[in-house]
Structure 1
């Protein structure tokens, strides 16, 4: 399928497609073939200001629009998404290196996210509370925050950007999106086109494609947005949190992970091995929730490694457009080089390459490392690539200790035949999400998503998103007049 470039070399501001004002450009490449997909004239600070101003003007009009009209627009949004299904999937394959399997899953999850967000239109409620003062009542109203700045990621670009946009819009806000430079279309410009075609008001959704060095800090510190929603690395998240804090802006930060699968000695080894292969190598491991460490009880370690290796050996690596490919390219060569260095450094410290994968440009075949300890780079760092470090634990207590010996706490997994005991183990692992007898890559739009420690601040999805993207106002009402001692 030939991709239609349409307006994707331009900025989307106040319902108009326009050239960016920067002297610089952003080149967009296919990470598998190296082919240049398009070149975008980057945005400058004037474009950024125009986008935020448009969003500020559109927001109060949108928030007061009749409920029925908003519902019709969300219904149209779902229809437009379904009409553009194959185009969106192909953009994910060619721009982000997503396999067809992963791109399809991402698209379907995005549609589900929109449908869940549409329900927010009738789920935003207030409260009436009693008062200690005679003849008074307290009313608590929940309203939109205002303008939300959304910074999209490159790994699950469409879904994770939609995860902020759809709830923000549904709760009455407007948005300005700054997509990742590696995926300016799937984490940005596609949304301009989709919301435009669905008939949403001009200025409600704006997309600014610019270089971080030129507009990155200003995107956060600009006086108009009251909240910044960011999905990406912990390093960048800390910078955004620092800038937002200085300017008293709220943040939603979904950051890095060093997720574990703890395989207890009573686990179904075959099932655990299959789950680990999926949770580690889906999208080449370039998922914040992907398994980064597999901790296995020494009593079953060797059998697990044998079965896991056999399954991983069947995973096809190659062109992500091929429906049978499970492991496609990494997003760029810098990622590959960094991972290779971590492998080399870990081997130098005693790790064993149990399964060695060939590297070809941005393609990396799966790698399995054994004899890994928690202080090695391959276990300590968030790898974001197709490398599976396996750590042997002498018992359950040590496995939990290893799992918690990390600054991250996003997702995780526990495999055991005793479900109640699995829950008790899961409670001891310091992470925002964890799954019994499943792998770590799980997300559903009505369930709280987010991490602890260096993995982020806040929760996405469902009622937690409603809380995040709205604010409350207390209005007290005095029935009759109050007597004062003056």
Structure 2
């Protein structure tokens, strides 16, 4: 997107080559180009933060936060409503930019902006909910618990759905009375950061409450260490999440981790194969498989596995791959060369281990063809690893017990799904799956930003963000008692 194509909202962010602290400020770090994955062309030049910038931002946020927390809930809520209205009025501009920066289709950019608008309205609504509880106590004593902000929340977000995965933490954290230091992925600094900065800047968020500092791993580590930051909300790979948890835990911070997944879709023998294939294809290939909830294992009953595989092959060969943001294809590019090589290595290693390539397995530049692997077994990388690419992995099973064992044979525990007209049977299977999200008669990438979202095991640390979980994540309880006079104690 050339600057001449932009409207007022994003132009300042695209031209400034600055960080954001309520104002647009020079960085002590470097300035790097942001590359559009589909074209290889630069979209903008972005300021990259340094650890020194994190220290300055965190101190500033800590100073600004108390006044924000003391502001009335209606005044705070109005900021979110204004930001949502601005996002709606700038919908087309924002959707196109998100699609281009992430390498997604325009429909994917539109989805992110729609969800962002909901997240902003939801944050406003959070402030009209009860902020505490009156507790039972002895006569003559008032006992209650109230929710208190943590102070400064650090948010580290990824490249795949950067607007949603940043804002789902930024908006409720601010609504709960916190200040936020946001480190978006440097590959998607506008979608994951500066776009949000512009919305809140125009909506009148007081300065110093939101800081946007894209940067590499040392910047994230500085955020996890900084004494002014009391909570870290991280979304990304399991390997990076372990490092975040280690550093933040050593500094006694609350940590919310939303990590990877190897998500099983179980298709029983009585399923409608056309519907099942449609669900499996969407779950495996949406946004080139670069989704933590992507269908990583298609577990098909042995009596239908061959037929289902043929239908998936037909769908893969019918899908076009190219510049999806411009409407030229159904699927776009992977985010970078490193990710493409990793996807291809997993496919190649699995073929060497005995899996069968039904279609795909080829690429041109960053465009990886939708791929179908059959004959996949435990021990193969396609079975064990989160691929994060457009690869449908078909595994057959002979019984419900075997399907459950295969689905649970992973360190991950994010999303799972079951397709069958026998809803009772599907629910009985689902009750035995280790997952944070369970979908009966749907695929695994089934999410709404108003639901509590979280995984188990290597998919997260057991908490949830979104909807009713937001108050629990972004505030902490304070117990208060009140008496008319102090009691007399025995000593």
Q: TM-score range by the shorter chain?
A: over 0.9
- Runs (5+) with no aligned partner, structure 1: none
> Does residue 186 of the first structure (1) align with residue 191 of the second (2)?
yes
Q: Which residue of 2 aligns with 1:435?
A: 439
- Paired residues of 1:93 and 1:321 also in contact (CA < 8 A): yes
Residue 37 of structure 2 is matched in structure 1 by 31
- 2:239 match: 235
1:45 aligned to 2:55?
no
For residues 165-244 of structure 1, the aligned pairs below 5 Å read 165-213=170-218, 215-244=219-248
Mean Cα deviation higher: 111-120 or 424-433: 111-120
1:364-375 map, 5 Å: 364-375=368-379
Q: Is the contact made by 2:96 and 2:110 (CA closer than 8 Å) also made in structure 1? A: no
Task: Provide the C-alpha distance between the structure 1 equivalents of 2:119 and 2:22, rounded to a whole number of angstroms.
Answer: 23
Q: 1:250 deviation in Å?
A: 0.3
Matches within 5 A, 1:104-143: 104-131=110-137, 133-143=138-148
> Are the equivalent residues in 2 in contact too, given 1:11–1:209 (CA < 8 A)?
no
Map 1:178-327 onto structure 2 (within 5 A): 178-213=183-218, 215-323=219-327, 325-327=329-331
C-alpha RMSD of matched pairs (Å)? 1.5
State the shift of 1:372 in Å.
0.6
Mapped to 2, the partners of 1:70 and 1:125 lie a distance apart of: 14
CA contact (8 A) 1:13 1:51 kept: no
CA contact (8 A) 2:74 2:127 kept: no
The separation in 2 between residues aligned to 1:99 and 1:357, in whole angstroms, is 21
Residues 67 and 356 of structure 1: is their aligned pair in 2 closer, same or farther, counting only changes over 3 Å?
Answer: closer
Q: How many residues align?
A: 483
- Larger deviation, residues 198-207 vs 48-57: 48-57
Q: Which residue is equivalent to 1:415? A: 419
Normalising by structure 1, we get a TM-score of 0.96
Residue equivalent to 2:74: 68
1:13–1:54 CA contact under 8 A, matched in 2 = no
Q: Give distance in 2, aligned partners of 1:94 and 1:445.
A: 22
- C-alpha distance in structure 2 between counterparts of 1:193 and 1:319, whole Å: 27
CA distance in 2, matches of 1:145, 1:216: 19
TM-score (norm 2): 0.95
The 1-side partners of 2:230 and 2:26 are apart by 27
The answer to whether the aligner puts 1:149 opposite 2:149 as a matched pair is no
Which of 60, 65, 68 pairs up with 1:59? 65
Query: What's the secondary structure of 1:445's corresponding residue?
Result: coil
Q: Is the 8 A contact 2:322 2:333 kept in 1?
A: yes
Q: Secondary structure at the match of 1:122?
A: coil
* 1:63-92: CA deviation from partner (whole Å, max 9, x where unpaired): 111222223222211111112212211221
CA apart distance, 1:104: 1.2
1:378-402 deviation line (CA, Å, top 9, x unaligned): 1211000001110011211111101
1:169 is displaced (CA, Å) by 1.0
| Structure 2 SS opposite 1:183 | coil
Deviations 1:307-340 (A, max 9, x none): 2222232222111223362210000011111111
Gaps of 5+ in 2: none
CA displacement at 1:461 relative to structure 2? 0.7
Aligned partners of 1:39, 1:380: CA distance in 2, in Å? 38
SS at match of 1:240: helix
In 1, Cα distance between the equivalents of 2:47 and 2:149? 33
Q: 2:489 matched to 1:484?
A: yes
